Structure 1
Amino acid sequence: MPHSLVLNLIPQSPIYPEFLTGRHLHALFLTLVSFVDKSLGDYLHSSNADKAFTLSPLQIQRQHKQHHHSLQFSHQKLIPADTPIWWRISLLDGTLFQKLAPLWLNLNPNHPWHLGSADLYITSIQGTPQSTQPWANACSYTQLYEQASDSDRTLNFNFATPVSFRQGGYDTVLPIKECVFNSLLSRWNKYSGIEISSIPIESIYPSAFDINTEVLSNYESKFIGCVGGISYRILGDIESTSIKQINALADFALYAGLGRKTTMGMGIVRRV
């Protein structure tokens, strides 16, 4: 069962920009995991396999109404002490969620978590849909599949942080349909237990887009990715089962993310 969790946090001291990279947030997540299961934390740290979680960059909680279409994916300035912030963590594997359950169930708001020189306190965790927080959700794979439309031919995606794909040993930032839907299909088949053998990608066409490239710094490297909105249409005489499967994959994007470095803040996507 996939989960999209939003952690609300308060820093006790300023968080400086050099500690707001995906690399540092990845390390913070592994610290959370190791706190409740050290062997699992060690495994996630050492494993090079596709990992069953995604992480967003830290987001400053705005006072005015937020649309949450785009997320802040780079910080040029420090985040001051006592600034309410939130952090989205998605878990694609129900076993991973269960192993981390002690962290959510025995939340200690007085336990500091270190990010660089700053201490962070987790004040609350949201795991169900909220009118003010569309990034929080949970749904079983069976529900995702059963609730998917078998007639909706329009697929609108919001790329909230830079999206990049690996193709033949190189990176590509253009969200061509093969990259987008094969990325979703491979993660669905790995974690859902409901195999979708293939989808008619040749019947999916981009119909509208408002995208641009952005540069994201991580480690000593820079990654280029695509952000913005893109719509696809399912065209032609397609079986309703195939339309349902494609819609299930589109709904799954909230949890799975897209493309590369989703465990370091890239590829955070949702259907809109």
Structure 2
Amino acid sequence: MVGCFVLELKRAETTSGERPWRPRVGSRGGELPPAFYGLVNAVDSELGDRLHAASGRAPYTAGCFKLRSGGDGLRLRFTALTREVFAALSAGLFARLTGGERLRLGGEPFELVRFTFDGADEPLAGLSDYPRLLPPTPPRHLSFRFLTPATFRAGDANLPLPLPQSVFRGLWEKWNAFAPPDLRMDREVLTVAEKHVVPCAFRVRSAERQVKQGKVVGFFGNCRYEILGDQSPEVAQALGALTNYAFYAGVGAKTTMGLGQVLTECAPSV
């Protein structure tokens, strides 16, 4: 199971005389994981401890966005890449909503107004499972809209470019880490992504994002990739599944701190 929750938060009432609050959307990267762990720990502290102590790829992502209506609040976006994380996160959100307990980001209190995982209600929300991420027909074009800056680790440096080998390698690794064993993908999918997938249209810009370790340079915007040659339908469908998976798994580094949040689309030949 994979799921994406969007939370609507509003600034909680505080005592008069406090300094005026100003939304700092885009600078809250390091504050997102504690908010996620707070929700999970409230219902499953053992899982929260395991996730916090684990190294490598995390089975969740986090993002922060402005309210669509504007106003004194924000939207948080948490995704879950396993059934266990989905169950704990949903239970934690229900408990927080019904109990009225505040969430804190960077020491500032927020009230949870509502949350949803219904994509019809909120374009950044959604619910699926790994088999349903496979497109019904083999795609030729794979479109990504990078909503928040994305970057990729290259040795000790960051590479803020939407190279197909960088995009699909990370998705392939996450898929094989968290998908059911019978759906794991072989290396041929990655080889095709590296040698036969190219950007065919793109418009991206660089941007800085503050995370826990400091500032990171990334890119955001739109990029469409094309699968070249006569690739097998199975490999093309696998690449389509990875594209659909990116909506939940994020793209690139530091996806638990707000980077690499994307919308995606697969399309056949035209």
TM-score for the superposition, normalised by structure 2: 0.86
Q: Of the candidates 75, 82, 90, which is equivalent to residue 79 of structure 2? A: 90
Alpha carbons 1:19, 1:115 under 8 Å: kept: no
- The CA RMSD over aligned residues, in Å, is 2.0
Alignment match, 1:119: 109
Distance in 1 between the 2:26 and 2:239 partners?
38
- What residue number does 2:230 align with? 237
- Deviations 1:169-208 (Å, cap 9, x if unpaired)? 3211111111011111111111111111031121211101
Judge conservation of contact 1:109–1:122 (CA < 8 Å) in 2: no
Aligned identity (percent) is 27
CA shift at 1:112, angstroms? 1.4
Select between 196-205 and 226-235 the one with higher mean Cα deviation: 196-205
Give the 3 Å change call, closer, same or farther, for CA 244–213 of structure 1 in structure 2.
same
- d(CA) in 1 for partners of 2:231 and 2:60? 33
Counterpart for residue 128 of structure 1: 118
The 5 Å alignment of 1:57-72 reads 57-62=64-69
Which of the numbers 110, 120, 128 marks the counterpart of 2:100? 110
Stretch moving more, 24-33 or 95-104: 95-104
Deviates more, 1:16-25 or 1:212-221: 16-25
Q: Aligned partners of 1:247, 1:262: CA distance in 2, in Å?
A: 20
- Report the AA paired with residue 83 of structure 1: D
- How far off its partner does 1:213 sit? 0.8
Unpaired runs of 5+ in structure 2? 14-20, 266-270
TM-fit CA distance, 1:235: 1.4
The AA in structure 2 aligned to 1:89 is F
| Cα deviations by residue, 1:131-185 (Å, 9 ceiling, x for unpaired) | 5x2111010111112xx14332011100111111112332111111110111111
What letter matches 2:153 in structure 1?
R
For the 8 Å contact 2:23–2:73, the answer to whether it is kept is no
Aligned counterpart in structure 2 of residue 54 of structure 1, from 61, 68, 72: 61
Q: In structure 2, what residue type is equivalent to 1:255?
A: Y
Partner SS state of residue 151, structure 1: coil
Structure 1 equivalent of residue 158 of structure 2: 171
Letter in 2 for 1:96: V
Could you tell me which runs of 5 or more consecutive residues in structure 1 were left unpaired when the two chains were aligned.
64-81
Aligned-partner Cα distance in 2 for 1:108–1:20: 29
- Three-state SS of the structure 1 residue aligned to 2:253 is coil
1:216 aligns with 2:206: no
Q: TM-score, normalised by structure 1?
A: 0.85
